[in-house]
Amino acid sequence: MTETLPPRHTNSVAELKLLAKGQWANIFDDLFDSPENPNPLAEAFAANGFHVSCPVHGGSDGFRLFGDFLDTGGTVCNSCGPHKDGLSTLSWLLE
């Protein structure tokens, strides 16, 4: 007897970004949702567009969310450089 496997989802990166548009704050909150694994962007969320310390290397005020963060997930650190979308930001945070 042959077992039938469920269909595989083959979403492209573009499709994933479209699905995530407007949801990046929720995505990061859901991924980093425990005291042992706090959201590295929490300080930036609370700063409402102002510069804060970098969640990767610290400092005092070199990091901020892009103005369209909710749609794109983009961030920038003056030292580390820009992360144009949420997938790039997430990858950078998890390195």
Residue range 61-73, pLDDT digits in tens: 999 999 999 999 9
pLDDT at 19: 92
More confident residue, 8 or 90: 90
DSSP reduced 3-state for 58? strand
Whole-number Å distance between alpha carbons of 68 and 75:
9
Model confidence band, residue 14 (pLDDT cutoffs 50, 70, 90) = confident
58 sits in the region (left: phi over 0; alpha: psi -120 to 50; else beta) called: left
- Closest by CA to 63, choosing from 86, 90, 82, 87, is 82
pLDDT at 33: 86
Q: Mean pLDDT over residues 5-20, rounded?
A: 79
Q: Mean pLDDT over residues 2-30, rounded?
A: 83
The pTM score is 0.82
Order of strands, sheet of 81-83, starting from the edge strand that comes earlier in the sequence: 52-54, 58-65, 75-77, 81-83
